Amino acid sequence: MFVVDDNRFFLESLVFLLNRQIDMDVAGTHDRIQGVLERIEAVKPDVIILDMRLPDGDGITLLQKIKSSFDIPVIMLTMYEEHKERAARAGAFAYLVKGEGLDRLYQLIRKATESFVNS
């Protein structure tokens, strides 16, 4: 799994919580758009968790770049509900608003992993 979020506290907390799950392992993180495709290529994750707003651009733009370069499910995890349809059109596997339960995120990650492994 690979997580992209510019909020260092949130990122480190999320990585900690994900790595506590028996069946999950965060292989890499990044906090901006620049350089992330190279990091994803190096790590080859089975799922990407992506924030909507990054300091150097828009998560939807990055989602489109990821989807055109890799066949990896991307879960958008953001504070903003209003971008859900745009994210779906751009190829997001799922869209989750920060503040929803962790169990929902775990469930989506497991579902995304299954879809990646079976594709």
Residues forming a β-bridge with 83? none
Q: How many CB atoms lie within 10 A of CB 28?
A: 17
**Cα distance between residue 42 and residue 2, in whole Å:** 11
**Model pLDDT for residues 17-72, shown as the tens digit of each residue:** 999 999 999 999 999 999 999 999 999 999 999 999 899 988 999 999 999 999 99
pLDDT at residue 4 greater than cutoff 60 = yes
- Which is nearest to 71 in space by CA: 118, 13, 12? 118
Q: What's the average model confidence in pLDDT over 76-84? A: 86
